[in-house]
Amino acid sequence: MVNGATILLTGACGYIGSHTWVALAQAGFAVVGVDNFTNSSPGVLPRLQRLTGQTPVFEQVDVCSAADLGAVFSRHRIDAVVHFAALKAVGESTSQPLAYYANNLGGLLTTCRVMQAHGCRRLVFSSSATVYGAPEHLPIPEDAPLSATNPYGQTKLMGETLLRDLAQADPDWRTATLRYFNPVGAHESGLIGEEPRGTPNNLMPYVAQVAAGQRPFLQVFGDDYPTPDGTGVRDYLHVMDLAEGHVAALRWLLAGGDALTLNLGTGQGHSVLEVVSAYSQASGREIPLRMAPRRPGDVAACWADASQAFKALGWQAGRGLAQMCDDSWRWSRSSAGFNEGIQRAA
C-alpha cells in the first residue's frame, strides 16, 4: 500500500505544505493538493511543477466545506491525508479566537468526517510545540505536561484530543501527530519558501527582510533571559527535514503502524543572536539590531527531545543552522517580492 499511494494534502500551497508536496513526490507518492489560499498563493503551483516534473493535481477547496471536500474524495482514490490547513499566527489567534476555533477545529472535524465516510482512516496531523506551553524541563519529551497558552495552541491541543478520542472509538483509525518546533529555511532550489503576508510573525523571515533592505532593523525582544547571550533560545528545524518527517510518518501508517505522537526538531537550541550571526554570514550583510523588553508569554528557551522520532521512524534532522540560513537567503534573493528590497540594500 505504501508504494504508489495517493495522499491528500490539505493546505498544500502553504509554506510547509508545498515543501511536503515536493518530498512526497520525490518519495514516489501521488499527491492531490487542496487549498483555499487564505495563507498561500496559487503562484506556488507552477514552481511545484518545475520541482516535481509533474503537473500538480490541485483543487481550490476549503476543508471546512464537507460537500466540496467530499467531492474531492469522490474524484480521487485517497489512501491517506496530511492535514496542514489551519490558521497559524499566535498573536492573531488572541484577537480572533472564534476564527481560529472555527477554522482549525472545524476544518479538522470536517476532514475526519469526510475521510470516514469514504473509508480513509490514515491521517498525519500538523501539531505544534505550542502544546507544551512554558516547558518545565529541557529538552522537551513527548510526555511533558501539556498547557497551551493561546487560542492557536489550544486548537492544536484540542485537535490532538479529537484524534485520540476518534482512535479510541474506532480502532481502524491510525493517526500520526507531529509536534514540530520552529520550521525555517527553504527548498535548496530557491523556488519555494516562506512567503509571509505583512509583517512576519517568525524570526527568520523577519531577519531575511532586514538583510534584503526591506526593513531597517530587527527588534530583539529581551536580552536578559537566563540563556548564554541573554536572548531567547529556540529549536530551529529546516523545512525540508520537517517535510521528510511527514513522509516517514506516512510510510509508518501505510505499512500498518500504530498511532503515534512525536516531536520533530533538531534537539538543539539556537539563540536569536546566533541566528542573526549565521544569517549575516549567509547573506554577507549586516543585520542592524534594536533591543526591546521581553514580550509577555515568551519563554526563555525551548527545544525538543526528538529521540522518539528516530526510534520509531528512523527520522532525524540533518540540516544545520548554516544551511537553514543559506537556503532562506537563496529563496529571498530569487523571490520576486524581495528583488526591490535587495537592490535598495546593495
Which amino acid belongs to residue 124? V
Strands (E), 181-304: 182-184, 218-221, 233-234, 236-238, 260-264, 270-271, 289-292, 301-302
Chain-centre distance for alpha carbon 32: 19
Known active-site residue 152? yes
| For the chain, the helix, strand and coil percentages under 3-state DSSP, each to the nearest 5 | 45, 15, 40
Among the options 15, 100, 132, 152, which is catalytic?
Answer: 152
Please name the residues in contact with 212: beta carbons below 8 A apart, sequence gap of 6 or more. 332, 333, 338, 341, 342, 345
Q: Among 253, 199, 178, which residue's Cα sits nearest to residue 20?
A: 178
What cell was used for 173? 483509525
Distance CA 41, CA 209 (A): 19
Q: Among 257, 112, 234, which residue's Cα sits nearest to residue 182?
A: 234
Eight-class DSSP state of 294: P
Q: Among 100, 118, 114, 228, which residue's Cα sits nearest to residue 155?
A: 100
Please name the residues in contact with 24: beta carbons below 8 A apart, sequence gap of 6 or more. 7, 9, 31, 82, 243, 246, 247, 250
Distance CA 250, CA 231 (A): 36
| H helical segments located in 53-96 | 66-75, 90-95
Give the Cβ contact number of residue 305 at 10 Å: 18
Strands (E), 93-138: 122-128
List, by residue number, the catalytic residues: 152
